[in-house]
Structure 1
Amino acid sequence: MEPSRCQQDVRDPVPRVDAYGFERPEDFDYAAYEQFSASYLVVLARRAAKWSRLLRGGRAVRRSGTVKRYVRKGVPLQHRAHVWMAVSGAQAQMDQNPGYYQSLLQGAGSPELEEAIRTDLNRTFPDNVRFRKTAEPCLQQSLYHVLRAYGAHNPGVGYCQGMNFIAGYLILITKNEEESFWLLDALVGRILPDYYGPQMLGLQTDQQVLAELVRRKLPAVAALLDGHGVLWTLVASRWFICLFVDVLPVETVLRVWDCLFNEGSKVLFRVALTLIKQHQTLILQAASAPDVCDKFQQMTRGPFVTECHTFMQKVFSEPGSLPMATITKLRETCRATLLAQG
């Protein structure tokens, strides 16, 4: 009937772009997403009420058992920037360095750094309407400022591919360049040291740590990859370097980041192990190296990763015990091996 067609015409443009500006793909499953959204909106409303009580009267957010529990269950979008800034230490750094971000932007920049950043601007989220040159405002300019300032702040890292995606997400959430800069500094400088920059030793180390954890917890998967000669850098490097951006759905990535800012890099191993354990049967069907890579791509699509609330519950249960002492020891061993190799 005519009225329903009119309703369809009104509704169609809305779901094509999500709340963060990303265009949904042609094969997007609207029916499944709407079913998930209906239940998740109830969860979000309940969490928002709890967070509002916790933050009532401008109360400061400090790491605690309660905050850890709340963060694991999800930070509402309206509080996300505030909570990330608090638990990561970024707010304290910004407060202690007033005017520093602006001074970096006003300083003389490196032509090489600026050119490297500009080269990647158009490659950053081409499916996001807010990063297009036709957008008003166009977030490419904010992205350029944040990355240029960070390169000047940390010349040992400068700019590395992958940082553009991370900074882009930070800008989408904070809507503030200076806060995005300090959150990027928290990630690159403290939470994920040596992930970015010329040698990426921290990134290489953690990929080897993941390989060892899989050998211990999911030996059949490790044996399959070894048997087909598939290196973990081939299947998991993007998971770590982009912190699951452009790998998992946006809302799921943000739930992972809630915990990453509060609990540190151990969360990345939990997410990776959960994905692998949940899809162990699928992976073990692979008959060749290209098939293994294809299975790993399949793992990051579908209802399991879209239903972010259930997914995060699995992240903190499926991998089992994962003491920080174990990860620290594995990091020391893997780093020593990498350095010895050269």
Structure 2
Amino acid sequence: METEKNGNITQVHQNNSTKAKGSVDSYGFEKPDGYESYEEMMTEYLAVLTRRSAKWSKLMKGKVKVENNLKVKRYVRKGVPNEHRAQIWMAASGAQAQMEKNPGYYQSLLGMDQQRDPKLEETVRTDMHRTFPDNVHFRNSSETCLQNVLYNVLLAYGCHNPSVGYCQGMNFIAGYLIIITKNEEKSFWLMDALIGRILPDYYTPAMLGLKTDQEVLGELVRVKVPAVWQAMAQHDVMWTLVVSRWFICLYIDVLPVETVLRIWDCLFYEGSKILFRVALTLIRHHQAELLQATSMPELCERFKLITQGAFTNDCHTFMQEIFKEPGSLSMGTVTKLRETCRGRILAEEVSVSP
């Protein structure tokens, strides 16, 4: 693996052999069975990307910041081309501003050898081989192995935010950021934006933010897809059983790569309510299949199945649907539900504590 002094990672998208070129996608992930139909969709989608790229290039010409207006919001919802993704994510999330305010900070975290928590180092190192085993860039045998880069980003973040440290799920998020930005420092500051501002309390030891948002989804389903909410209650299925991975991994390894990246475009620009729009669309669109379940295990299995297939593979159509199918969903509504659900969770924890 080659790393430039400024933290840029070279060769990320270069495959390691003739065999690899035919068996992996443009991000280095192994192509799953049935990939042919996905490639057919991508051929059509590439025409869309080409048009979007030209419009984004015109919009961003000479600019380093992203304005907060309806035009940019519309552009983001229609997809950010890969060549602009790192810049848009950095600008929209506030990560660029934080990086510029703190020059040299990331490198200083990596130099804290004597002040590091040995447990943090051990925990992060343990998860390295578990991170994207189906991606050629994260294998030890790869010339472009990104495990050291991933280790640096996660270790630096654990030192930066000791109240969070490291927990499973963060490795996948950091891995995606590295693949897109090709830059250690930018990946670190995007982690800071996600965990510190966009998804507060998702990755703390108590995971109160994650628990809260799962309950918020339940309340939204109760209003918008009541039949599914009733089925969940009837079969005594807790939301954490079926959607915890959706939220904690931000749909990584749940939905196809291109679809996840389109979701993240909106996540960095619009905030965490996008996670609810995705979940509600999956549930509402597939409510007929979910309602056919006759037991708890069957309902849980159907929740896995609804994330697969043509509907989620066609990222462009899917993203259009998430802004239609769930109906209106304001950040104000989400905030109020979070307050109610958080209070309920805390009250329940107090009542069961010794």
Q: Which residue of 2 aligns with 1:82?
A: 87
Q: Deviations over 1:165-207 (max 9, x none)?
A: 0000000000000000000000000000000020000000000
Q: Which amino acid aligns with 1:49?
A: A
**1:28 matched to which residue of 2?**
34
**Count of matched residue positions in the alignment of Structure 1 and Structure 2:** 331
Aligned with 1:239 (options 246, 253, 256): 246
- Structure 2 residue corresponding to 1:328, chosen from 335, 338, 343: 335
Residue 15 of structure 1 deviates from its aligned partner by: 4.2
Task: Spell out the pairing of 1:245-260 with structure 2 (5 A cutoff).
Answer: 245-260=252-267
Post-superposition Cα deviations, 1:275-320, rounded to whole Å, max 9, x if no partner, equal: 0011001100111111111111111111100000000000111100
- Tell whether 2:77 aligns with 1:52: no
Rounded to whole Å, the distance in 2 between the matches of 1:134 and 1:15 is 18
Aligned counterpart for 1:266 among listed residues 248, 269, 273:
273
Q: Which amino acid aligns with 2:160?
A: H
**CA offset at residue 34 of structure 1?**
2.8
1:326 deviates by: 1.2
What letter is aligned with 2:24? V
CA 1:11–1:113 in 2, change beyond 3 Å: closer, same or farther? closer
Q: Which residues of structure 1 form unaligned runs of 5+?
A: 1-9
- How far is 1:13 from its partner? 5.4
Q: Which residue of 1 aligns with 2:5?
A: none
1:144 paired with 2:151, answer: yes
Q: Which residue of 2 aligns with 1:313?
A: 320
Q: Deviations over 1:113-147 (max 9, x none)?
A: 01110111111100000000111221110110000
Note the C-alpha offset of 1:332: 0.4
Q: Which amino acid aligns with 2:103?
A: P
| Map of 1:67 onto structure 2 | 72
Task: Report Cα offsets for 1:141-173 as digits up to 9, x if no partner.
Answer: 011000000000000000011100000000000
Q: Is this contact kept in 2: 1:201–1:335, CA < 8 A?
A: yes
Q: Over residues 193-243 of structure 1, what are the superposed CA-to-partner deviations in whole Å (9 max), with x where a residue is unaligned?
A: 000020000000000000010001101001111111111000000000000
Kept in 2, the 8 Å contact 1:62–1:86? The answer is no
Instruction: Please list, as runs of the form range in 1=range in 2, the aligned pairs for 1:163-178 lying within 5 A after superposition.
Output: 163-178=170-185
Distance 2:317 2:71 in 1: 20
**Amino acid across the alignment from 1:51:** W
Say whether 1:95 aligns with 2:109.
Answer: no
- Residue 140 of structure 2 aligns with an amino acid whose one-letter code is K
TM-score, with normalisation over the residues of structure 2? Answer: 0.91
- Mark the CA change 1:199 to 1:213 in structure 2 (over 3 Å): closer, same or farther: same
3-state DSSP class of the match of 2:127?
A: helix
The question of whether the paired residues in 1 share the 8 Å contact of 2:235 and 2:296 is answered with yes
Distance in 1 (alpha carbons) for counterparts of 2:147 and 2:67? 33
Residue 59 (structure 1) shift: 5.0
Query: How far apart in 1 are the matches of 2:153 and 2:199?
Result: 18
Mapped partners of 1:100, 1:320: distance in 2: 43
CA separation in 2, counterparts of 1:160 and 1:85? 23
User: What is the Cα deviation at residue 12 of structure 1?
Assistant: 7.6
